[in-house]
């Protein structure tokens, strides 16, 4: 069952080994429910050259948020990167690469940010490549740390991705007169993506997939 919980959130209080929501102003929290598909992603990736192992910028838009289904259903223009209302950007640093026959296994760590604004990099990907430190104005609603495993099949030029994200910051946003919050600090979600590298090299590609909530015993949800 969907858990969109109305709570009063002022902040968070840490007690040994746990994070507890403290109540303050009415907000509908969309919790990352274990085992439930909570988010769906459509995006692209661009490798970022560095002096050691390459980094990766991954960006796109959300095509689904559990509890906000209506906003993604429209009879208007096609739903795509130009009409999406929620964007995301991941900046990840490669920590290890392993060759395994036709496969390349890549481990990365980084940060994912979800915004209540369209994805600016989707319309101009080169911005993030030319100046990766450039700050693009967006209304951030969630920040999370990321551990990522990418498996590239050099024979088919396809790849799969698994991300484990732990939420570190959230910010309420207003939608149709209701204030929502996407998850709570400490909640975890697991993202599975499938993609295809562009024909000319392994530095660019496109992907799509979904995220499910993962149980975290260190987080205590507000009383319902």
Is residue 6 one of the residues assigned to a domain? no
Average pLDDT over residues 171-200: 92
How many domains does the chain divide into? 1
Is residue 88 one of the residues assigned to a domain? yes
- Reported as a single tens digit per residue, the pLDDT across 112-161 is 999 997 665 665 554 444 444 545 567 899 999 999 999 999 999 999 99
- Reported as a single tens digit per residue, the pLDDT across 22-79 is 334 588 999 999 999 999 999 999 888 766 777 898 999 999 999 887 777 665 666 7
* pTM of the predicted protein model: 0.80
Query: Strands 18-22 and 219-220, how do they pair?
Result: parallel
Is residue 25 one of the residues assigned to a domain? no
In this predicted structure, what is the pLDDT of residue 204? 85
**Positive or negative CA dihedral for 50, 100, 188, 119?**
positive
| Between 102 and 125, residue with greater pLDDT | 102
User: Would you place residue 6 in the very low, low, confident or very high pLDDT band (cuts 50, 70, 90)?
Assistant: very low
Average pLDDT along the chain: 79
- Report the distance separating Cα 44 and Cα 189, nearest Å: 20
Domain hosting 74: range is 34-171+185-214
Query: Strands 18-22 and 11-15, how do they pair?
Result: antiparallel
Residues 132 and 57: beta-carbon distance below 8 Å: yes
How far does CA 28 lie from the centroid of its chain? 20
In this predicted structure, what is the pLDDT of residue 51? 66
**Residue ranges in the chain assigned as alpha helix (H):** 120-123, 126-130
In this predicted structure, what is the pLDDT of residue 136? 56
In this predicted structure, what is the pLDDT of residue 17? 35
Is residue 29 one of the residues assigned to a domain? no
Query: Which range is least confidently modeled, 96-105, 115-124, 208-217?
Result: 115-124
Inform me whether the pLDDT recorded for 9 exceeds 50: no
- Report the distance separating Cα 2 and Cα 105, nearest Å: 35
Inform me whether the pLDDT recorded for 102 exceeds 70: yes
In this predicted structure, what is the pLDDT of residue 11? 38
Is residue 125 one of the residues assigned to a domain? yes
Is residue 24 one of the residues assigned to a domain? no
In this predicted structure, what is the pLDDT of residue 135? 54
Is residue 113 one of the residues assigned to a domain? yes
Is residue 126 one of the residues assigned to a domain? yes
User: Would you place residue 188 in the very low, low, confident or very high pLDDT band (cuts 50, 70, 90)?
Assistant: very high
Average pLDDT over residues 155-169: 96
Tokens 């994912």 label which residue? Answer: 112
In DSSP terms, 206 is beta-bridged to 44, 196
How far does CA 196 lie from the centroid of its chain? 19
């Amino acid at each position: 069952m969907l858990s969109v919980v109305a709570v009063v959130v002022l902040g968070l209080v840490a007690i040994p080994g746990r994070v507890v929501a403290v109540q303050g102003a009415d907000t509908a929290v969309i919790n990352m429910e274990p085992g439930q598909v909570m988010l769906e992603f459509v995006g692209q990736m661009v490798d970022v050259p560095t002096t050691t192992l390459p980094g990766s910028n991954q960006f796109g838009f959300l095509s689904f948020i559990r509890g906000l289904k209506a906003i993604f259903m429209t009879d208007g223009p096609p739903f795509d990167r130009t009409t999406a209302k929620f964007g995301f950007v991941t900046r990840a640093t490669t920590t290890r690469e392993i060759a395994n026959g036709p496969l390349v296994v890549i481990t990365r760590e980084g940060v994912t940010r979800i915004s209540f604004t369209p994805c600016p990099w989707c319309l101009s990907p080169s911005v993030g490549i030319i100046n990766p430190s450039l700050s693009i104005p967006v209304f951030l609603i969630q920040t999370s740390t990321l551990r990522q495993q990418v498996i590239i099949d050099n024979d088919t030029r396809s790849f799969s991705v698994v991300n484990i994200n732990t939420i570190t910051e959230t910010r309420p946003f207003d939608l149709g007169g209701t204030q929502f919050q996407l998850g709570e600090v400490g909640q975890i979600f697991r993202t599975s993506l499938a993609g295809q590298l562009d024909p000319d090299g392994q530095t660019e590609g496109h992907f799509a997939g979904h995220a499910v909530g993962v149980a975290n015993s260190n987080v205590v949800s507000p009383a319902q």
